[in-house]
Amino acid sequence: MASRHRSKRVLSVAISTAFLLAVIAGYFAVMNRGKPEEEDAAEALARKSRVSAELEEALRVDETGLSRATVTLQTTRGRIRFRFYTDDAPKTVHRVAQLIRSGFYNGLTFHRVEPGFVIQGGDPTGSGEGGSGVTIPAEFNRRRHVPGAVAMARKAEIDSADSQFYISLGNHPRLDGTYTVFGQVIEGLEVANQIQPGDRMTAVSIDHGP
């Protein structure tokens, strides 16, 4: 009788031990499974931080006032490239850079084309009334509306600029100080002059530069 009780106790201890070991093994299995995901998340965050730091550095201006970073507008007529006036319009530059990096402008049209005056795009509706939904405070500055100047379109309200921008095709001093100039075309002004209504920005990207 005593032998049977001892056997039951031994069996009970063995079962308890086996159960405990299984729980411990399961715990470590779960912990180990989580590590790669945690590492991936950490790597993604580190990569995002590196990219942000690189962009911030690229947006710094040189002695001409233009950024090292260059925006490339690949259009249905050819390529237009411009650089930012970061110090003159920092909020505008950072918002436009954010929109470009998100792919917002890819595929949008130039809905307004006035030869010798401006070409304008950046409206997802193509009507001239749309935008990203986030407005940018006006940053009027000393930059002039010369051929190739890149500036923000807006409504009558001063702080109503959103995602729409235009490229000046000539000298237009009457616009100076009333619209935020935030960049300057460095290549492809002849392409800008060929743009027709409905032509698309097939891809828009930022090159951080050397």
pLDDT of amino acid 24: 52
Separation CA 184–CA 187 (nearest Å): 9
Separation CA 56–CA 69 (nearest Å): 9
The answer on pLDDT for 34 being more than 70 is no
The answer on pLDDT for 127 being more than 80 is yes
Q: pLDDT confidence of 53, banded at 50, 70, 90?
A: confident
Q: Partners of 119 in the beta sheet?
A: 113, 167
Of the chain, the percentage scoring pLDDT greater than 70 comes to: 76
For CA atoms 205, 97, 81, 112, the dihedral sign is: positive
Please give the structure tokens belonging to residue 103: 């792919």
Separation CA 5–CA 2 (nearest Å): 5
Separation CA 43–CA 69 (nearest Å): 25
The answer on pLDDT for 95 being more than 60 is yes
pLDDT of amino acid 84: 98
pLDDT of amino acid 17: 52
Q: pTM for the whole thing?
A: 0.77
pLDDT of amino acid 48: 52
Q: Identify the CA nearest to 138 among candidates 153, 158, 121, 168.
A: 158
